[in-house]
Amino acid sequence: AETVAQLCDDRELVVVSNREPYSHAREDGEVSVDRPAGGLTAALDPVMQTAEGTWVAWGDGDADREVVGPDDAVAVPPEDPAYDLRRVWLTDEQVEGYYRGYSNQVLWPLCHLDTAKLTPREDFWSAYRETNADFADAILDSTADADRDPVVWFQDYHLALAPRRVREARSDAFLAHFWHIPWPSWDVFRACPQYEHLLDGLLANDLVGFHTDAYCRNFLDCVDAATDARVDRSSRSVSYRGRRTFVRALPLGIDAGRQAALAESDAATEWWAQFRETHGIDASETVAVGVERLDYTKGIEPRLRALERFWAENPEWCGNFTYVQKGTESRSGIPAYDALQDRVAAEVERINDRFGTDDWTPVVYTTDHLPEEGIAALYREADLGLVTPVRDGMNLVAKEFVAAQTRDPGVLVLSELAGATGQLGDEAVVVHPHDAAGFADRIGDALSLSRAESRRRAADLQREVHAEDVYDWLESTFETAAAIERGRRSVRTA
Ligand code: GDG
């Protein structure tokens, strides 16, 4: 609260994200509220309650429109209203063009270096522009009566253009943006025809945050190459159109204490007992787990290839080593995602046909969205956590897996291509997701680590994820922003 107050003083704090923190649905005639489960939204919610600010997000719940007041806002949390949730309503064309189109078929593949999947359709771009303008207008509307310019914090790649429009109307607003996915090198970034517009939008911010130093460097390289901005690498700042933007690495953490408590809960124990029974996983089996949305960046197919190779080369592990893949369907309707869903299901079936027996299923596959205690149970019970994306901004699953090793610690097997590897790579078993032979060998190595060694590694990793958790991240972000504001005030008064 103190760091937030330092930055905001008596200015309004506005958080802007594509997803809403509370969504409303109608069930049996009653309106029900879906609350933030874990992660960033849950950590930001208490900050917003203290700051009594405004959260601007896409109103996506089917009953969202029924609960809003005249200014499209509803006070949340419902039982003890502390801040305003202001919805941006999107037409079907906007959802198609802004969300499924430009965000997820242009920016997502671009930033994950998969330029072959780039779908640079003009209608996607125009919907992205239009929707970013709608978000900016909602921010401006909700702060129109404030005497002082607000502090606005944008989340992620859906909103690259909104900061410029807010800046044009409120020149003294403090604007910050956190980009949750990688930032590519200039050679890759220029594959997107709108690169100048995207940079122009983001450079309206005072602070742009990324997970790693490498993404910051890539961003500065792109600005240097594509614009006439002055890039100062020593202070990691950019002077552009009369303002200065600071670029900082602010690696996101998790609520590690909460994750550990979930792993210890009776609910997790009960969930696991049920899951094991449903899927016929014997208590004596060694278990590996993969937890993700079905996304081509997460490396699920190369992981299945490595596992297949492992079973083929190590028949002594057939019958007693099971891989559980939780792969929730995501972004369905986008061709690359539909095709991935089909291929993963077919691969799982093929591998199970090849090695499975009447008593043993090598790959237990579920596309269900699991309750939090189910996710925690999977982490806790697994001997190996396989977190092997082909590209990932950070990857919070790796951190959650670590925090959940509250008993008989399992080993984290981590891709060298995840952002999290910068923080966790020393004590994890690191693999290259596409090197199936090396990956299969590392699975064997991980399984043969002594208990003492896996305990030591787990303890070191746990120190890391507890020491830099989501609350530290919030604090660093607000402190960084406050320091930029202080620097600016001292220049003005000098
Ligand atoms: C983006 C970036 C970056 C997953 N399935 C279920 C479930 N989850 C939860 C996990 C974890 C979260 O979803 C996934 O977070 P990741 O970080 O792994 O991945 P992305 O969704 O791609 O997130 C990523 C992140 O933004 C934050 O900046 O780390 O690099 O791509 O918390 O536990 N939760 C529940 N049921 C599920 O079935 N309850």
Rounded to 5 degrees, φ, ψ at 48 are -65, -35
- Identity of the residue numbered 194: Q
Q: Is the ipTM value over 0.95, yes or no? A: yes
| pLDDT for res 361 | 97
User: Which of ligand 1's atoms lies nearest the C-alpha of 392?
Assistant: 30
CB of 85 within 8 A of CB of 22?
yes
Q: Of 183, 275, 291, 369, which is best to mutate to test ligand 1, by the most ligand atoms within 8 angstroms of its C-beta?
A: 291
Dihedral angle computed from the Cα positions of residues 101, 103, 107 and 112, in that order, rounded to the nearest 10 degrees: -100
| pLDDT for res 9 | 77
End-to-end CA distance of the chain: 29
| pLDDT for res 117 | 97
| pLDDT for res 494 | 65
Q: Separation of 87 CA from ligand 1 center, angstroms?
A: 23
Q: Separation of 490 CA from ligand 1 center, angstroms?
A: 40
User: Which of ligand 1's atoms lies nearest the C-alpha of 420?
Assistant: 29
Q: Of 391, 396, 402, 412, which is best to mutate to test ligand 1, by the most ligand atoms within 8 angstroms of its C-beta?
A: 396
| pLDDT for res 85 | 95
On the 0-12 / 13-18 / 19+ scale of CB atoms within 10 A, 421 is: buried
| pLDDT for res 146 | 84
d(CA 29, CA 57): 25
Residue ranges of alpha helices (H) inside 314-371 are 335-355
The pTM assigned to this predicted structure is 0.97
User: Which of ligand 1's atoms lies nearest the C-alpha of 254?
Assistant: 32
Q: Separation of 293 CA from ligand 1 center, angstroms?
A: 7
User: Which of ligand 1's atoms lies nearest the C-alpha of 211?
Assistant: 28
d(CA 487, CA 446): 49
d(CA 271, CA 264): 12
d(CA 348, CA 403): 28
- Identity of the residue numbered 14: V
**pLDDT tens digits in sequence order for the chain, 494 residues long:** 777 877 787 789 999 999 999 999 988 888 889 887 767 888 889 889 888 899 999 998 888 888 888 788 999 998 899 999 999 999 999 999 999 999 999 999 999 999 999 999 999 999 999 999 999 999 999 999 888 889 999 999 999 999 999 999 999 999 999 999 999 999 999 999 999 999 999 999 999 999 999 999 999 999 999 999 999 999 999 999 999 999 999 999 999 999 999 999 999 999 999 999 999 999 999 999 999 999 999 999 999 999 999 999 999 999 999 999 999 999 999 999 999 999 999 999 999 999 999 999 999 999 999 999 999 999 999 999 999 999 999 999 999 999 999 989 999 999 999 999 999 999 999 999 999 999 999 999 999 999 999 999 999 999 999 999 999 999 999 999 999 998 887 877 76
| pLDDT for res 476 | 95
| pLDDT for res 38 | 67
The helix/strand/coil state of 65 is helix
| pLDDT for res 135 | 98
Look at the block and give the residue holding tokens 């960033």.
40
